[in-house]
Amino acid sequence: MEKNKVRETLMALEYLRKKFLQPRFLSLGLTLGQGQPRILRTLKANGSMTQRELADLCHLDVTTMSRTLDRLEENGLIYRSRPPQSRRAYLIRLTQEGEEKAEKVIEYFQELDDVLCCGLSQDDLNRLYGDLSRLLDNLKAQDL
C-alpha cells in the first residue's frame, strides 16, 4: 500500500467526522471548527480550570482559546472568575445552560464513537489505537 493512502484516509475520516457532527452542534448554536464542543465537554468532565489548563486539554492554542471563550461567555455558556490566589489567571466554569449543552455534546460524541467503532472488536480497537498513537508520536517528534 502507498504511504499517501494513510494521509488520504485520515483526511476523508476527518471530513466525514465533521459532516456527522456539524449539524448536531449547530442545532445547539455551537461552532465545530473553533473547539466550542470540545471545551464544553472538557469543562463538564473536569470541572472549573484555568484557561491554560483548558487549552492544553483541548489541544488549542491560547489565542484561539481566548477568542472561543469570549464567544462562549457572550452566549451565556461559561463564566470566568479570578481565583483569590491569582491576579492574572481566570477560572473557567460552565453556567447552567453550558452544563445542559455539554451533556448534549457528550451524547453527540458518543453517537460518533458508536458509529466509528461499529463492527470492531476490542482487539481491533486496541490495535487501531496503538497504530494511531504511533502516527501521533511521529508527528510530535517533529517539534511542531
Question: For residue 76, what is the domain's CATH number?
Answer: 1.10.10.10
More confident residue, 74 or 33: 74
* Orientation angle between helical segments 51-58 and 62-74, nearest 10 degrees: 110
pLDDT at 33 over 90: no
Nine cell digits for residue 90: 481566570
| pLDDT at site 135 | 94
pLDDT at 143 over 90: no
Nine cell digits for residue 104: 448534549
User: How far is 66 from 32, CA to CA, in rounded Å?
Assistant: 16
| pLDDT at site 101 | 98
| pLDDT at site 117 | 97
Structural domain span for residue 42 = 4-140
| pLDDT at site 98 | 98
pLDDT at 73 over 80: yes
Per-residue pLDDT tens digits for 94-140: 999 999 999 999 999 999 999 999 999 999 999 999 999 999 999 99
More confident residue, 85 or 4: 4
| pLDDT at site 87 | 72
User: Has this prediction a pTM greater than 0.85?
Assistant: yes
Query: Structurally, how many domains does the chain consist of?
Result: 1
Number of CB atoms found within 10 A of residue 79's CB? 16
pLDDT at 23 over 90: yes
